[in-house]
Structure 1
Amino acid sequence: MKTVKLVRGEQNGEEIILINFDPDPKVESHLIGLPGLKRNNSNGKFHLKNSAKNLGLLFNHLRKIKCYVDYSELSQKQVAAPVKRKRLFLPPIDSFHKEDLMRFRKWLEEKRLSPHTVNTYVEVTHFFVRYSILKKSKSYTKHLVESFNYEFIVCEGKSVSYQNQCINGIKKYFLFKDMDIGTLDLIRPKKERKLPVVLSKMEVRLLMDVTHNLKHRTLLALIYSGGLRIGEAINLKVDDIDSKRMLIHIKGGKGKKDRYTLLSQSFLETLRQYYKQYKPKAYLFEGQNSSTYSRSSAQWVLKNAILRAGIRKEVTLHTLRHSFATHLLENGTDIRYIQELLGHSSPKTTMIYTHVTENSIKNISNPFDDL
């Protein structure tokens, strides 16, 4: 009987259940189907959020393949538990502000912002309004915004990207309210300059090989082979595939710009198989209860493929787009063409791929080799 040992651990300030066992493909394959399962990129070990519910799920899941589950260490009390800062509790919104936010949403939609941007701005403004209710503020001031920024964003450990979204949303809200935002002097923090995570061609091939569901494999192949954003992929229509010219027509991409990108001959064969089996009507990828496939479903598809492939990099759907651009550059494609295929407004955005391509560093002589 295979033994699996469950140990208490911690990640990003959250208690987790570490799942330890000797290498076994059967156990690993069985674990991948468990909801909420995550994998550590450094050591490849699986873990779950530590809760009684997850412990029960994990125990029953492992018993299905007749594993002996040793969870004795989980019952031990944690020594010197860190003192956590009390989380900020925001009160519910009142009817007046609820109607005000509904008008704000309509105002944003009239500006023809993308649905995703509208939802984001309304959501972050919703938090800000609730914060102002908590503080019993009678007006929106610079001090209130700065206080919200510190307590709700900085102290809660939210990302710089999310902080920028909050400030952008609040700025739009103040414009909607016809307030003088100039006197508030809201400055967005600079984003961290991180290089994108890129998969090798072998890793991309492995992702496709372990994804046996035809619809899932077609979706991942489309995002990589066309260098698409996830929103562009799920909003793609059947008629946007131009197999005669071997192009994909992206309509209303980021910045409301249309463009063409490549249609791979190899992908076209997969796409034809998919079309014959699923027979999509309007959108290329349709959801079970909606006209389009959801972002969360697409993310779930990738997560499962990454787990099955045993890839330990921090991979998102956007990583496939980064990989497409990097591999084009490594193949000698002019960066101006890559910029057009990706739909970048500025060549500076595309230039980041010159920092991650193998060709840019692999020909440099390492001084250690000269010793």
Structure 2
Amino acid sequence: MNNLIKDIKLFILTSNVSENRKAIHYKNLLDFAQFLSTLKVVPLDEVHLEKIFTLSNPITAKVLKHNPINSGVLDHYFQSKIGFSYNQFLLLRNSLGAFFKFLEREYQFPNPVRQMEFNFEELKPIKRPIKTLSRHDILRFLHTLVSQSQDYYRELTLFCLIFATGCRISEILSLRMLQIDFTHGFINLGKTKSGKSQTVVIKHGMEKGLEFYCKQFKLTSSDYLFQNKNGPIPYATVRGLFKDYLKLANIPENHLHITRHTFATHLFENGSDISIIQQLLRHKDKHTTVGYVHSNYVRNYGIKVNNNKLLYEKLVSELSL
């Protein structure tokens, strides 16, 4: 075996991973090498994994034997990183695991990772239960948007599309006018996350509102549906709007992707089969779709709110222009 630094460079050179992953591995392994250098009190280029422990004659100080690194040293290394996030620990473990597998193949070096006792699971964050928006939440959100927005027609069209189609936010923001079939009422998404061309049917009546919207903003066929001077509206802008209107509507803060979970949950509550919801969300795996449904009860069934009636009237009047 070479010294540790040379073996790290050889590992990076021969690794069949992306350049970004190589950079992460190199950074993590250099950190590990520095840890061993400090532990052994030797220069970085003198660290050898097969000479981590040294047995000497207590009288003559003559070196009798060297022993290689063991799992205890790795446990000590990870213990020194307490305070890191769970994801940082996973990246470190992934880098060391891949490196020691390389050494095992290259030199038949004993792999100490397999004997580690450090408990990574204790560091795993507790997942908060996902809370989808109820139908009443959505109506309150839209009512707040209409009453508070300085650009309410653009924002109303944006969020109505998000809530009504269950599309990914990136798909909505990348839409150009030419992708909308106003006659038949569908959107051609082009190649999506799955790599396939997908078509989404628009809720009946919404195609007229979209057509009116495009005429009002004088959009050409190549224009983004929701654009600013530099192209499509950034994701961060939409996320900020979503957060602001939730707060103004007195709805608990939530992440923007929850709109897809909400879309799936409402369909399920209305009796749609999981396989149908899977097709609408365009998931490859049915189990992924099941994870998007968070239905424990039918929320606010039959509830009537006067403000909602006013909102409906506002939407109908705008769409009928």
Letter in 2 for 1:305: Y
Partner of 2:214: 275
TM-score relative to the length of structure 1: 0.50
Structure 1 letter corresponding to 2:242: L
> What one-letter code is carried by the residue in structure 1 that aligns with 2:204?
Q
CA distance in 2, matches of 1:259, 1:168: 38
3-state SS of 1:265 partner: coil
Task: State how 1:35-50 maps to structure 2 within 5 Å.
Answer: none
Is the 8 Å Cα contact of residues 28 and 92 (structure 2) preserved in structure 1?
no
CA shift digits 1:33-86 (9 cap, x unpaired): xxxxxxxxxxxxxxxxxxxxxxxxxxxxxxxxxxxxxxxxxxxxxxxxxxxxxx
Does the aligned pair in 2 maintain the 1:302–1:317 contact within 8 Å? yes
> Which of 152, 155, 161 is equivalent to 2:83?
155
CA contact (8 A) 1:225 1:324 kept: yes
1:335/1:299 CA distance change after superposition, 3 Å: same
Which residue of the other structure, out of 267, 272, 277, is the alignment partner of 1:338?
277
Inter-partner Cα distance in structure 2 for 1:216 and 1:329:
27
Partners in 2 of 1:264 and 1:336 — Cα distance? Answer: 19
**Is the contact made by 1:227 and 1:324 (CA closer than 8 Å) also made in structure 2?**
yes
> Is residue 2:304 matched to residue 1:349?
no
Equivalent AA in structure 2 for residue 205 of structure 1: L
Alpha-carbon distance, 1:127 to partner: 6.4
1:299 and 2:239 aligned: yes
CA distance in 2, matches of 1:165, 1:249: 39
Aligned to 2:59: none
Cross-structure match for 2:55: none
SS of alignment partner, residue 232 of structure 2: coil
Identity of paired residues, percent? 23
**SS, match of residue 199 in structure 2:** strand
- The 3 A distance-change label for structure 1 pair 237 and 193 is same
Q: Which residue of 1 aligns with 2:267?
A: 328
Residue type matched to 2:278 in 1? Q
Cα contact 2:261–2:294 (8 A) shared by 1:
no
How far has the Cα of 1:233 moved from its partner? 2.0
* Letter paired with 2:131: V
Residues 206, 256 of structure 1: CA spacing in aligned structure 2 closer, same or farther, 3 A cutoff? Answer: same
Unmatched tracts of structure 1, length 5 or more: 1-96, 110-117, 363-371
Equivalent residue for 1:311, pick from 251, 260, 270: 251
The answer on 1:260 being equivalent to 2:170 is no
Q: Structure 1 pair 207/359, CA: closer, same or farther in 2 (3 Å)?
A: closer
Runs (5+) with no aligned partner, structure 2: 1-8, 38-43, 50-68, 106-110, 302-321
Q: Which aligned pairs between 1:1-371 and structure 2 lie closer than 5 A?
A: 108=18, 128=28, 131=31, 135=35, 155-156=83-84, 158=85, 162=87, 166=91, 195-211=129-145, 212=149, 213=151, 214-278=153-217, 279=219, 281-289=222-230, 291-312=231-252, 314-359=253-298
The residue that corresponds to 1:94 in the other structure is none
Aligned counterparts of 2:30 and 2:144: Cα–Cα separation in 1: 45
Residue-by-residue CA offset, 1:333-361 (whole Å, 9 max, x unaligned): 2210110111222111222355425249x
The aligned amino acid for 2:83 is: C
CA distance, structure 1, for counterparts of residue 277 and residue 155 of structure 2: 26
Aligned residues: 240
Partners of 2:189 and 2:182 in 1: CA distance: 14
Q: Which amino acid aligns with 1:339?
A: Q
Aligned partners of 1:243 and 1:263 also within 8 Å: no
Report the residue type matching 1:209 in the other structure: H
